[in-house]
Chains A and B, each alone.
Chain A
Amino acid sequence: MAWETVIGLEVHVQLLTKSKIFSGASIRYGAEPNTQACIIDLAMPGVLPVMNKEAARMAVKFGLAVGAEINHRSIFARKNYFYPDLPKGYQISQYELPIVGKGSLTIAVNDKEKVIGITRAHLEEDAGKSLHEDFHGMTGIDLNRAGTPLLEIVSEPDMRSAQEAVAYLKKLHELVRYLEICDGNMQEGSFRCDANVSVRPKGQKEFGTRAELKNINSFRFIEKAIEYEVERQIDVIESGGQVVQETRLYDSVKDVTRSMRSKEEANDYRYFPDPDLPPMELDQSFIEAVARSLPELPDAKRRRFINDYQLSDYDAGVLTASREMAQYFETVVSESGVEAKIAANWVAGELLAYLNKDAVDIKDSPVTAGMLSGLLKRIKDNTISGKIAKDVLDAMWKGEGDADVIIDKKGLKQITDSASIEPIIDEVLANSPSQVAQYKAGQEKLFGYFVGQVMKASKGKANPAQVNQILKKKLGA
């Protein structure tokens, strides 16, 4: 039987505010345990939450970017359950009226575009961490993370393959970083994903029973976890069993998913509106101000790069993968004065190779946009050839200085006066009598051989155009 996969994703995006969502404590990552938990985060008797307006601003920013309805009035609710790293015994979240309503995100898989519905996005606070190691059988509690603002983005069950799920996640990841509302750091848990996965016979309208895969922290793992889970569910059904609704954890070491708790064991969270927080009212002027602050979004930027710079879809995609990358590219185009396509080749090709090789983020690149522009200028004004330029870039990457400094220090300046090039050519021709004879007998493709020999003899410094011109003249004589 042919099966169809149905996937919906819930993504927890940690917002880049300075302080927590309901207290003034810092949310900096990696501090000593419990040093960033104030009396409110510790749920001391009598304390009260106060909403961080900045978190609301960021949520609205996201909502506007995915074309969603923004709810002018949204409500915070308490989700009640006991756990040692949940200090109040409830999590403040949004339940019936979230800040962001229906929106959508367009993804592309195998060159085909598809619109994925976003059901809602709501604000909530994170819990702390339970530490099970190093406490001699006891559990340690670190409440630094408790109260960190999260935006939970819930998709419609619109994805039909692991590839689509990953494409959606990457798109979302790119977007939240563009909006500067999340650092996107998956290792530190700033961008976490739960996947609801089910299968159904192709053509069937009703959804199958779903399993929820929890907290998967890389794009690769999400793909593998979904693929494993789909296979597992098909196996269960084909061998006569039934998929049960449950929460499953992905084990990346063994590449399997494993049951965590079933629906029967699920908590009754007893949601109700938090009486400590009045409904959050957002007026139109606030929303409009956020709209004006929106940056150019990835899709719009990509279209502009294709239209204005005549770039290929691929190059435009690479160069708009992050705001920093796009900014870098546009700086190089304007400062160097070279054709956009050449700048694109250098940024998306040469530079990106270095960045990937050393796993450096573009914003930390040792070769700045200004430095790369300086190099490209020297190609443009014929000071060096494109080939030499690659050596200069390598030296710049190693921290040897600006292009001009390196060219000067290493004597890489291109030889552009004919009087210096001619003796080199004469020597090459004199040393290759048989090739000259063959060329003259009609083997014109040997021309490249002569160019190569001349470049080699000049250590790459001879201006290739002039070499061509002089060689043609001499061989034609």
Chain B
Amino acid sequence: MFHKKTIAELSGDLAKKTCSSVELTAGFLDRIEQHKDLNAYITVDRDQALTQAREADVMIQHGKATALTGIPIAQKDIFCTQGMLTTCGSKILSNFISPYDATLIARLKQAGAVVLGKTNMDEFAMGSSNETSFYGPVKNPWDTSRVPGGSSGGSAAATAARLAPAATGTDTGGSIRQPAAFCGITGLKPSYGRVSRFGMIAFASSLDQAGPMTQSAKDAAILLNAMAGFDDKDSTSSGIAVPDFTETLNHDLQGLRIGLPEEFFGEGLNSEVASVVEEAIGEYKKLGAEIVKVSLPNSHLAVPCYYVLAPAEASSNLSRYDGVRYGLRAQEYGDLIDMYQKTRAQGFGDEVKRRIMIGTYALSAGYYDAYYLKAQQLRRLIAEDFNQVFEQCDVLMGPTSPTTAFKLGDKTDDPVAMYLNDIYTISVNLAGLPGISVPAGFDSQGLPVGLQIIGKYFDEARLLNVAHRYQMVTDWHRRMPKEYA
């Protein structure tokens, strides 16, 4: 029954030597093999994982274990892993063996965690359903006819189906929180700058942020402890002190001021999702929290603002995939320009191409002021809204996503409908704030609903504390999809 346990529980077992990391790792590797139909992983390297597990067992033997030593973790395939295929869900990197480890990977390895495998994702993290992956869509373990959300869909599905005790994800506009909500797990997007971006393949540099995807807030705290902190290889990483996030988990919520932005409960929100979220807020009232009605008047601008800025940055970030130095190069081509065109035409999927074109357009001479510059101004307004409301409350709450998981193929022909899935998550990235999605219940079809909690800058400790106290009085986070229990 190892697969039903959290990191915190497994860590205890390893310390008590009731199991070894090799046993654990092999157990999860077997589960991955059994549940290949979910398509949660792109790469699993059994030998490498077991080698790391053996090394972890030695660390444990020598009493040098951390809370993560010997724990197998699934890594989103956006993180470069030395000597291992790193595809970012794209054909253009389908042959790319990274020569180095991302800082996040290096830190987790340093803590003794085992790289269990690389999880499936939307191509270059562009998507909200995991359907843009070159490696095919991931299926939602709660209903395999549905999407797991995206872009970190593989990590969410793997954690929900217990094909890993926990996973890493990245979130540019909701890519940790929305799949966490769809798959019924806990997903934290830290403040921008909290976790190093070095070695995390860039989608939109000013928005991208890595974070933990776990069964519980406590596990998220344990993982974040190892992931967070300044990195001299990332000029945008923050030097702000990193607390021990597990220490404040149990703080009392008496007097906590919860802001409910009216814009998060308006038109477009599914009524079942709304009532689950309201119930969760009711639970917080019982825990002693006060409710404050607030407003984020510019939040309706978040999606259009995001879909200028993120593609603009992406159009430039993805220029390096040119077939010259690594990755895919078209088999046959004429001159240099033809090589570029064929390589990129063959290597990128439709959504990535769409965003490269939108971004290129937004940055072009004559359009820059109207699009890119205007969007930057909106971004400041959106961030200012949050600064204002955080004078009246400590955290904000609302739904993570307007609906529960939708059917595979439902929105693939309608990009704008797909983009609107991130309507509640995107503004958090634009402002650079931390946000967490916590399982809060189910709709009438048995699909998980996520509660989003948004915190002040670098106040992840508070978010985790607020989420943890809720998880102490509810058991939504311990529910598992039947076929995978």
Contacts and interface: CB of A to CB of B under 8 A. Distances in A.
Nearest to A42: B325
A47 B340 CA distance: 22
Interface string A82-124: 1010011110000000000000000000000000000000000
Given A45-B201, A51-B235, A141 B98 contact: no
A84 B320 CA distance: 10
A47 B319 contact: no
B313 A275 contact: yes
Contact of A78 (B98, B316, B318, B360): B316
B467 interface: no
Interface string B69-109: 00000000001100000101000010010111010000000
Nearest to A22: B235
B365 to A, nearest CB: 5
B94 to A, nearest CB: 12
A46 B80 contact: yes
A271 to B, nearest CB: 8
B428 to A, nearest CB: 17
A454 B54 CA distance: 99
A49 interface: yes
B205 to A, nearest CB: 4
A157 B99 CA distance: 48
B324 A141 contact: yes
A87 B79 CA distance: 20
Given A42-B325, A45-B320, A276 B236 contact: yes
A49 B372 contact: no
Contacts of A88: 319-320
A113 to B, nearest CB: 40
B472 interface: no
Interface string B457-470: 00000000000000
Interface string B350-373: 000000000010011100100010
Interface in A255-313: 268, 270-272, 275-278
A249 interface: no
A44 interface: yes
Nearest to A37: B325
A253 to B, nearest CB: 26
B198 A46 contact: yes
Interface in B312-348: 312-313, 315-316, 318-322, 324-326, 336, 340
B405 interface: no
A48 B208 CA distance: 13
A277 B319 contact: no
A49 B320 CA distance: 14
A50 interface: yes
Interface in A11-50: 39, 42-50
A80 interface: yes
A277 B316 CA distance: 14
Contacts of B201: 45-46
Contacts of A270: 315-316, 360, 363-365, 368
Contact of A44 (B80, B235, B364): B80
Contacts of B365: 268, 270
Interface of B is mostly: loop
Given A272-B372, A275-B205, A45 B364 contact: no
Given A48-B198, A84-B336, A272 B235 contact: no
A450 B334 CA distance: 86
B99 A44 contact: yes
B233 A272 contact: no
B232 interface: yes
Given A270-B363, A276-B205, A48 B368 contact: no
A82 B206 contact: no
A49 B197 CA distance: 11
B199 interface: yes
Contact of B316 (A45, A48, A51, A272): A272
Contacts of B364: 268, 270
Residue picked from A50, A139, A141, most chain B C-beta under 10 Å? A50
Residue picked from A43, A45, A47, A50, most chain B C-beta under 10 Å? A45
Given A39-B99, A44-B98, A48-B233, A90 B363 contact: no
Nearest to A49: B235
A82 B340 contact: yes
A224 B142 CA distance: 76
A272 B315 CA distance: 11
Contacts of A139: 336
B45 interface: no
Contacts of A46: 79-80, 98, 102, 197-202
Contact of A82 (B99, B232, B322): B322
A248 B363 CA distance: 27
A141 B324 CA distance: 9
A45 B86 contact: yes
B37 interface: no
B234 interface: yes
A89 B319 contact: yes
B312 A272 contact: yes
A52 to B, nearest CB: 11
Interface in B188-219: 197-202, 204-206
Contacts of B234: 48, 50
A44 B312 contact: no
Given A80-B363, A89-B320, A272-B363, A45 B235 contact: no
Residue picked from B99, B236, B320, B364, most chain A C-beta under 10 Å? B320
Residue picked from B102, B206, B324, most chain A C-beta under 10 Å? B324
B324 A50 contact: no
Interface in A42-86: 42-51, 78, 80, 82, 84
B338 to A, nearest CB: 12
A80 B319 contact: yes
Contacts of B80: 44-46
Contacts of A44: 80, 98-100, 326
Contacts of B202: 45-46, 276
Residue picked from A43, A47, A82, A270, most chain B C-beta under 10 Å? A270
B307 to A, nearest CB: 16
Contacts of B199: 46-47
A397 to B, nearest CB: 51
Nearest to B373: A272
Nearest to B87: A45
10 shortest interchain CB distances as A-B pairs: A89-B319, A275-B206, A270-B363, A275-B205, A46-B199, A43-B320, A45-B201, A46-B80, A46-B201, A268-B365
Interface of B: 79-80, 86, 88, 93, 96, 98-100, 102, 197-202, 204-206, 232-236, 312-313, 315-316, 318-322, 324-326, 336, 340, 360, 363-365, 368, 372
Given A46-B200, A51-B235, 19 more contacts: A39-B99, A44-B326, A46-B79, A46-B102, A46-B201, A46-B202, A48-B197, A48-B235, A80-B315, A80-B363, A82-B319, A82-B322, A84-B324, A89-B316, A270-B316, A270-B360, A272-B316, A275-B206, A278-B235
Interface of A: 39, 42-51, 78, 80, 82, 84, 87-90, 139, 141, 268, 270-272, 275-278
18 contacts: A45-B86, A45-B321, A46-B98, A50-B234, A51-B235, A84-B324, A87-B325, A139-B336, A141-B325, A268-B365, A270-B316, A270-B360, A270-B363, A272-B312, A275-B204, A275-B313, A277-B235, A278-B236
